Amino acid sequence: MRRLPLVESRSAVYEDWPARPDDFNTIPLLHDSRGRRYTYLRLSVTDRCDLACVYCMPPGGEDEHAVRDDLLTFEEAARLISVFAMAGIRRVRFTGGEPLVRKDIVRLVEIVHRRTAVEQLVMTTNATRLAELARPLRDAGLHGVNISIDTLDADRFASITRGGDLGRVLAGIHAALHVGLEVKLNTVPLRGRNDDELGRIVDFAWSLGATPRFIELMPLGEGAKLPSSMRMNADDVLRFLGDRVHSEPPTAVEGQGPARYMPASNGSAHRVGFITPISNEFCDTCNRVRVTAKGDIRACLASRRAISLRNIMRAGGSDLDLAWAMVWSLSGKDRGHHFLEPHEHEHERVGMSLIGG
């Protein structure tokens, strides 16, 4: 097979990769050399956002946004997802940046729903545009949304998101619930910024029938610039939740994501989720692969190895070529993410908005 062009980018180190072997002539299920199976794709549809959360996006946005021609087109995204589906991917999460700022995002969801064998389409969003889009998204085939909300105080919200309007997010949450989307609320606990509200956020989520989840602050991109004293692990969060949940440690990883859940102590069906990449690395059970808005496949948030699936398609590559690039990308996946270790290429660790959180 001819060598297909790679792509240059500030954030990625592109290693040379071998040509597709002659005997690679069917699309295999994706797994890696450590026995992990891959069933979940996180696809970023844009690296832009209408907010600039302090742990994610620099004020005024990232220096380098993909230009329009860099982005995967909807046709390319749908083709990629159908190859991923043949390779065992069952669930796709649209993310970003903010996925709802991608023009015609509803059409993308609809195309992927109609054309691919993926079982479940979900999205992570800041919900600023969800009040208008919840119904069309659901009609297009979206199953659920994870909505990021770090505070219920309008001034704090504006401060953490650098200008966001809490009212729009709340309207988005209500719209999503109203049209029957499954809703989870994601909160990054930040000592000194929202720690006094964590219990209230749980009560709020439960009162709506949504599941609250806490994500440990990761030292990536802007998150790496915040003082480490702001980081809170699951135990720190639990102390703020009082007697709302059982006190034993979170259960084993369940479902298709990295969250571990603790049941409410009042016997109701409510739960609180914890995503603990720092205090309790879940890499051993990782089942997800990421594709950036430009179409680079990344085996892990922390991984520097990336291959441009977009360029393979634009150079006329076949579905088998794409599958080989996926297989090869995952074959080099490390056992863990090493977020807290000093990093030889610190500047290459980009934030979630560029990789697709």
Which residues in this chain contact ligand SF4 in the complex, by CB under 6 A? Answer: 49, 51-53, 56-57, 96-98, 126, 148, 353
Which of 11, 39, 82, 126 touches ligand SAM (CB under 6 A)?
Answer: 126
CB nearer to ligand SF4: pick between 201 and 262: 201
Cβ atoms 320, 20 nearer than 8 A: yes
Nearest to 124 by CA among 183, 165, 57, 38: 183
186 binds, among ligand SAM, ligand SF4, none (CB under 5 to 8 A by kind): ligand SAM
Angle at 161 between CA 164 and CA 304, to 5 degrees: 135
212 binds, among ligand SF4, ligand SAM, none (CB under 5 to 8 A by kind): none
Asked if 211 is part of the footprint of ligand SAM (rule: CB under 6 A), the reply reads: no
Q: Which does 215 bind (CB under 5 to 8 A by kind): ligand SF4, ligand SAM, none?
A: ligand SAM
Give the up-direction half-sphere exposure of residue 156: CA atoms within 13 A in the CB hemisphere: 13
DSSP helix/strand/coil, 100: helix
Which helix (H) or strand (E) segment is 158 a member of? helix 154-160
Q: Is 256 within 8 Å of 287 (Cβ atoms)?
A: yes
Residues 6+ apart with CB under 8 A from 211: 183, 184, 185, 205, 261, 270, 271, 272, 273
Q: Which of 43, 173, 210, 218 binds ligand SAM (CB under 6 A)?
A: 218
Of 33-41, 105-113, 210-218, 304-312, the segment contacting ligand SAM by CB under 6 A is 210-218
Say how many CA atoms lie within 13 Å of 79 toward its Cβ.
19
Instruction: Check binding of 188 to ligand SAM (CB under 6 A).
Output: yes
The tokens for 163 are 């200008």
Site size for ligand SAM (CB under 6 A)? 21
Residue type for position 66: A
Chain position carrying tokens 């994601």: 186
Distance from first CA to last CA of the chain, Å, rounded? Answer: 33
Using CB under 6 A as the binding rule, whether residue 98 contacts ligand SAM is answered as yes
Q: How many residues does the chain have?
A: 357
Residue 52-91 contact track with ligand SAM, rule CB under 6 A, x = bound? ---xx-----------------------------------
What tokens appear for 320 in the block?
A: 């088998």
**For ligand SAM, which is the closer residue by CB, 259 or 325?**
259
Q: Is 205 in the site for ligand SAM (CB under 6 A)?
A: no
Residue 103 CB neighbours (<10 A)? 9
Please choose which of ligand SAM, ligand SF4, none residue 52 contacts, taking the beta carbon within 5 to 8 angstroms, the exact cut-off set by kind: ligand SF4
Binding site partner of 276, from ligand SAM, ligand SF4, none, Cβ cut-off 5-8 A by kind: none
From 122-130, 162-170, 245-253, 318-326, give the range in contact with ligand SAM by CB under 6 A.
122-130
Q: Which of 164, 212, 223, 250 binds ligand SAM (CB under 6 A)?
A: 223
Of 306, 254, 220, residue with least CA distance to 8: 306
Residue 50 or 319 having the CB closest to ligand SAM:
50
- Rg for the chain, CA atoms, rounded: 20
Q: Is 220 a binder of ligand SAM (CB under 6 A)?
A: yes
Ordered strands of the 288-291 beta sheet: 260-263, 271-275, 211-215, 182-187, 144-148, 120-125, 91-95, 40-44, 288-291, 296-298, 306-308
Closer residue to ligand SAM, CB minimum distance, 250 or 258: 258
Applying CB under 6 A, which of residues 116, 125, 128, 303 lies at the interface with ligand SAM? 125
Residue 138: CB atoms within 10 A of its CB come to 20
Closest to ligand SAM by CB, 9 vs 128, is: 128
Between 79 and 288, whose beta carbon lies closer to ligand SAM? Answer: 288
Q: Is 262 exposed, middle or buried (0-12, 13-18, 19+ CB in 10 A)?
A: buried
When asked if residue 151 is in the footprint of ligand SAM (CB under 6 A), the reply is no
Can you give the binding site for ligand SAM, defined by CB under 6 A?
A: 49, 55-56, 95-96, 98, 124-126, 148, 186, 188, 215, 217-218, 220, 223, 351-353, 357
